[in-house]
């Protein structure tokens, strides 16, 4: 079972790259953003809880995110592997993912990070905000608040995964094809 975490700040291109990688490596793509959007659009109880935080430009609490992810894994246990996009975002979530994988007798294969400059990412998100419908994609202050939360809560995962020899950094600036090629080089060496 291949299990890969695609890691990076909001706007780094995780969703775009995941679309190519899931096809190339025959993986089930679990996007926290897609799972949130589904729950928000369908006004599920978890979606209603998540909306309060998203509208304020805050990260959704771990408990809600973990419950959503667990449901997605349970629905897709017979696939060849998973590509997690936007999860984990905190040490607690990483530990919950480790526990979930262990309960299935699986191990995390790798965490691959798309790295890019904040100013470039802000522009990407503002552009995405024109069509995403997300209020936090249309306000630069909310975007920068998400980066502050990322630096406080998510950046510690870099050391967490480095300590497990599971962390690989990839330059996230360039054409989609160039970035896909960089990611593929890392995956092919795992």
Q: Which residues are known catalytic residues?
A: 14, 89, 128, 134, 146
List CB contacts of 170: < 8 A, sequence separation 6 or more: 112, 113, 114, 115, 179, 182, 183, 186
DSSP 48-92: HHHHHHHHTT-PPPHHHHHHHHHHHHHHTTTSSEEEEES---SHH
């Amino acid at each position: 079972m291949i299990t890969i975490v695609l890691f990076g700040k909001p706007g780094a291109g995780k969703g775009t790259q995941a679309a190519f990688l899931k096809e190339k490596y025959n993986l089930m793509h679990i996007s926290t953003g897609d799972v949130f959007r589904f729950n928000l659009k369908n006004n599920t109880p978890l979606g209603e809880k998540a909306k309060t935080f998203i509208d304020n430009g805050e990260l959704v609490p771990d408990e809600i995110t973990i419950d959503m992810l667990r449901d997605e894994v349970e629905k897709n246990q017979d696939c060849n592997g998973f590509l997690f996009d936007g999860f984990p975002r905190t040490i607690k979530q990483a530990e919950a993912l480790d526990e979930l994988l262990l309960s299935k007798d699986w191990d995390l294969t790798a965490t691959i990070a798309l790295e890019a400059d904040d100013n470039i990412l802000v522009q990407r998100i503002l552009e995405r905000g024109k069509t995403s419908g997300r209020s936090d994609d249309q306000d630069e202050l909310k975007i920068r608040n998400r980066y502050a939360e990322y630096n406080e809560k998510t950046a510690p995962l870099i050391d967490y995964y480095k300590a497990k020899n599971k962390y690989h950094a990839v330059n996230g600036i360039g054409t989609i094809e160039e970035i896909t090629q960089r990611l593929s080089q890392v995956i092919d060496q795992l």
